[in-house]
Amino acid sequence: MFTFPFMLEQTKPSYLNALRNSAVLFLKWPGQALGFTFINLVVIGLSVWLRFPWLIFGASLPALMSCLCVMDIVDQVNKTGLAKP
C-alpha cells in the first residue's frame, strides 16, 4: 500500500528499497498503518456501493492519502533524527 509513495520520494527509485521501507512503516507504526488501511477500505467500500464516487474516489483518494501518510512519516523520521545521514 505504501510502496508507490516511497518510490516517489526516493532520489534513485528502487522497488526493493521501497518495499522494505513499506514493511518498516507497517512494523514501526502499526496503529497509523492499520488506521489508514481501514479508512481506505471504507472509501473503497462506499465507492463500490455508490457507483458514481467509484470513478472519482476509487483510486485517486487512496493514492493521495498514501502519499500524504508517507510524507508525514518521512517528516517525523527526519525531525527525530532516526534517518541515517
pLDDT in tens, 31-65: 888 888 888 888 778 777 877 766 666 667 777 87
What confidence score (pLDDT) does residue 53 get? 66
Expressed as residue numbers, the domain containing 44 is 3-80
The per-residue b/e assignment along 39-72, b for 16 or more CB within 10 angstroms, e otherwise, is ebeebbeebeeeeeeeeebeeebbeebbbebbee
Task: Let me know if residue 85 belongs to a domain.
Answer: no
Q: Assess if residue 59 is contained within a domain.
A: yes
d(CA 46, CA 54): 8
Task: Name the domain count of the chain.
Answer: 1
Segment 17-42 shows an average pLDDT of 85
Distance CA 79, CA 13 (A): 23
The mean of the pLDDT values for the chain is: 79
Let me know if residue 37 belongs to a domain. Answer: yes
